Amino acid sequence: MHTRNILTMAFLFCALQTFAQNNFTYSPEKPHAGDVITINYSDSKTRPAATSPNEKSSLTAIVYKLGSKGQTADDLSLKKTGDTYTATVKTDTSENFVFFSFSVDKNFDNNSNNGYWIQLYDGGQLKKGANLSLSHYYIGQGQKTGVEPNDDKALNFMEDEFKRDPEAKKTNLIPYTRLYMQVNKENGTELIQKEIESELKTGLEDENDYSTLQNLYALAKLPEQSKWISDLKKEKFPNGKWKINETINDFLKEKDLAKKEAMYDDISSKIKTNDDWKSLEPSMSYFQSALINAYYQNRDYKGMEAAIKKYDVKGSQLASFYNNAAWEIQGTDKDLDQAEKMSATAVDISKREWKNPTEKKPDYLPASQWEKSRASSYGMYADTYAMIQYKLGNYKKGFTYTEESAIKIAKGESADENNTYALLAEKVLSPKKYVPQLEKFVKDGKSTSEIKEILKRAYVKKHKSDKGYDDYLVALEKDSYMKMMADLKKGMLDESSPAFTLVDLKGNKINIADLKNKVVVVDFWATWCGPCKASFPGMQKMVTKYKDDPNVKFVFVDTWETVDQKEKNAADFIASKKYDFHVLMDNDSKVVEQFKVSGIPTKFVIDKNGIIRFKAIGFSGSDDKLVSELTAMIDMAKTM
């Protein structure tokens, strides 16, 4: 329903040697898996001299642990003596790596992008997997702590793991090869060829060997060879793992609801009775979600209710289904009574789970973040319910929920929830009461076009004219604009854009080199991506805004699609929404890899010299913010 873009700002630090953790110590010096570790963290040495944190702000610390059982996370209980914080961490014998998050008001101390971490030992040596876990930390796990991905470090630690444990390379060959190619583009093809020769020389014994070779050929951009090995694998292992994967993919792609439900029942039965399928048991809730989502996407609400009853869906999962369906329904302005019933159930369940949870805390979340997650879920569902009440004309009832959602829980940080608040506040409050809150939304950069229209109506009513409104609005936006510009300048990049050629929906080849001397906005998206689609009305505003500017070009790269007819799928979606977008097809996901995109939507602003100046990940929910930020990025890129 809604998307949230949580932005974090890394602290500034004095120069440190690589991997130095001068303000962070621990004992024992070489902790073993299963030991209790005592850590000491000095806050004052890392806090920027120019920062004067609010006295009420406190240091938040979280410990993450990786090992053979996956990831766990816990809040750290800190004891402060002077400027030093002390805590203890109990490790498990299955773990090999521990890392830490230290933050104040969402601002992370990332130790000059090295982070704070501890590798665990077994005897006098690093435990198996410790370097591999550290590699994963620099690939992306560290983002939880404010550490940006670093492929060079990730590759070095992965190769260190292979030196200590050669067998690890076999099970991690494909991610290693992919990572190597990102770091060493010129030598990547040579490495792949060597690995292919090695696999062939060693011989293909089991299904995994065939799959590895198949993937190596795919990475080498040799689709015919990859398909040949795939066909051989299927012939040699007719009931192998590939069959399971194909069954799952067929289920996910199936459009006929009756067939999809029958396929789900078959998958469920196999997971319960067939040992080869047992590993998929943790994914059952995902498969169930795919089935029930298909019903409400097709607006078959009776079928959805029947499936919910048949599979005894309860708790948070039921609340999520009902909320998503209710949001879809209210968007059509039809069947609002049906939407209200679903939404009311979602609100009731989520509030109970927020206040008195009955479900188990996920291992990967510390208790503090789990509580915030439950509150956030309730806030989203309450916002849905408030919007439905607005459309039903039950303004006072709706306002109670939107006030709790937008103000008390989200604290004015969610533009789309602020929008619901503004709609209802205008109906139930006097301008004297709601205008200051709406002004704050604008000042904080958390408003929408609709909020500004409501403010304008209040302004005109008070002044009997719209004269002076533009100046009033500019004054409100000044602070957020200045902060935005400062953040953009601080985050400006200086990286060469990857060279690429893609085909558009009309069959024309588009080479990025041909767009030199223009500012190019590259937007990576997919038709299944909710936040991507939510951002598109704002992106249409941008395309319209610059349609007569020959020096600015927008390209929308459709990637990571899983459907068979990718071009038709993309074209049908764009046509259905009447978007004026130039869509390029990244069917083999090559370009998205070149840009090192980890999630979509992700936008890049490239200057006329082919240099990436800005990168924007996600969507905040505010069209106004998107237009304002992207306009500033484009204008700044023009001056480069």
For residue range 183-197, list pLDDT tens digits in order.
887 888 899 999 999
| Residues in Cβ contact with 343 at an 8 Å cutoff, skipping those fewer than 6 apart | 322, 323, 326, 330, 381, 384, 385, 388
Give the domain-ending residue among 138, 171, 204: 171
| Residues in Cβ contact with 200 at an 8 Å cutoff, skipping those fewer than 6 apart | 213
User: Is residue 485 domain-shared with residue 554, that is, in the same domain?
Assistant: no
CB 570 within 8 A of CB 585: yes
State what percent of residues in the chain have pLDDT above 90. Answer: 78
pLDDT at 591 over 70: yes
Quickly state the pLDDT bin for 1 (edges 50, 70, 90): very low
pLDDT at 7 over 60: no
Instruction: Give the DSSP letter of residue 406.
Output: I
In-domain check, residue 270: no
List the CATH number of the domain containing 82.
2.60.40.10
| Residues in Cβ contact with 85 at an 8 Å cutoff, skipping those fewer than 6 apart | 40, 41, 42, 43, 59, 61, 78, 79
Helix residue ranges, H only, 491-558: 530-545
The structural domain count of the chain equals 3
**CA 459/CA 472 separation, integer angstroms:** 9
**Strand 552-559, strand 583-586: pairing:** parallel
User: Is residue 485 domain-shared with residue 612, that is, in the same domain?
Assistant: no
In-domain check, residue 106: yes
**CA 559/CA 565 separation, integer angstroms:** 13
In-domain check, residue 516: yes
3-state secondary structure of 391: helix
3-state secondary structure of 341: helix
Instruction: List beta partners, residue 95.
Output: 67
The residue segments making up the domain with residue 453 are: 429-489
Instruction: Burial-class residue 289 by CB neighbours within 10 Å (0-12, 13-18, 19+).
Output: middle
**Exposed e or buried b per residue across 345-375, where buried means at least 16 C-beta atoms within 10 angstroms of its C-beta:** bbbebbbbbbeeeeeebeeebbeebbeeebb
User: Is residue 557 domain-shared with residue 453, that is, in the same domain?
Assistant: no
pLDDT at 20 over 50: yes
- Average pLDDT on 322-342 reads 92
pLDDT at 621 over 60: yes
Give the domain-ending residue among 454, 470, 489: 489
Quote the pLDDT of residue 46.
47
List the CATH number of the domain containing 537.
3.40.30.10
- Among all chains, which residue has been given the structure tokens 């991997």? 19
Instruction: Give the DSSP letter of residue 67.
Output: E
Query: DSSP string covering 347-359, please?
Result: HHHHHHHHHS--S
Residue 587 has phi, psi (to 5 degrees) of -65, -30
**Strand 95-104, strand 107-108: pairing:** antiparallel
Instruction: Using alpha carbons, list the distances in angstroms from residue 546 to 14, 511, 551, 575, 621.
Output: 42, 21, 9, 20, 22
Residue in 520, 429, 473 with CA at minimum distance from that of residue 628: 473
Residue in 320, 319, 343 with CA at minimum distance from that of residue 331: 343
Instruction: Using alpha carbons, list the distances in angstroms from residue 11 to 40, 365, 507.
Output: 19, 23, 47
User: Is residue 560 domain-shared with residue 602, that is, in the same domain?
Assistant: yes
User: Is residue 503 domain-shared with residue 485, that is, in the same domain?
Assistant: no
User: Is residue 479 domain-shared with residue 526, that is, in the same domain?
Assistant: no
User: Is residue 62 domain-shared with residue 162, that is, in the same domain?
Assistant: yes
Instruction: Give the DSSP letter of residue 32.
Output: B
Query: DSSP string covering 70-96, please?
Result: EEEEEE---EEETTEEEEEEE--TTEE
For residue range 267-315, list pLDDT tens digits in order.
999 999 999 999 999 999 999 999 999 998 888 989 999 999 999 999 9
For residue range 246-268, list pLDDT tens digits in order.
999 999 989 999 999 999 999 99
User: Is residue 450 domain-shared with residue 501, that is, in the same domain?
Assistant: no
Quote the pLDDT of residue 37.
97
Quote the pLDDT of residue 44.
55
Instruction: Give the DSSP letter of residue 277.
Output: G
For the chain, the straight-line distance linking the first and the last C-alpha, in angstroms and rounded, comes to 38
Give the domain-ending residue among 141, 171, 201: 171
**CA 406/CA 409 separation, integer angstroms:** 6
In-domain check, residue 287: no
For residue range 485-508, list pLDDT tens digits in order.
888 888 899 999 999 999 999 999
Instruction: List beta partners, residue 521.
Output: 554, 605
For residue range 144-161, list pLDDT tens digits in order.
999 988 999 999 999 999
In-domain check, residue 215: no
**CA 216/CA 590 separation, integer angstroms:** 14
Quote the pLDDT of residue 21.
67
**CA 229/CA 211 separation, integer angstroms:** 8
In-domain check, residue 286: no
Instruction: List beta partners, residue 554.
Output: 521
In-domain check, residue 478: yes
Helix residue ranges, H only, 79-150: 130-139
CB 431 within 8 A of CB 462: yes
- The amino acid present at 189, given as its one-letter code, is T
Instruction: List beta partners, residue 119.
Output: 97
- The amino acid present at 557, given as its one-letter code, is V
Quote the pLDDT of residue 541.
94
3-state secondary structure of 296: helix
In-domain check, residue 408: no
Q: Give the side-chain half-sphere CA count within 13 A for 234.
A: 11
Quote the pLDDT of residue 48.
41
User: Is residue 515 domain-shared with residue 457, that is, in the same domain?
Assistant: no
- Compute and round to an integer the Cα radius of gyration of the chain: 27
User: Is residue 525 domain-shared with residue 550, that is, in the same domain?
Assistant: yes
User: Is residue 477 domain-shared with residue 599, that is, in the same domain?
Assistant: no
Quickly state the pLDDT bin for 60 (edges 50, 70, 90): very high
User: Is residue 453 domain-shared with residue 592, that is, in the same domain?
Assistant: no
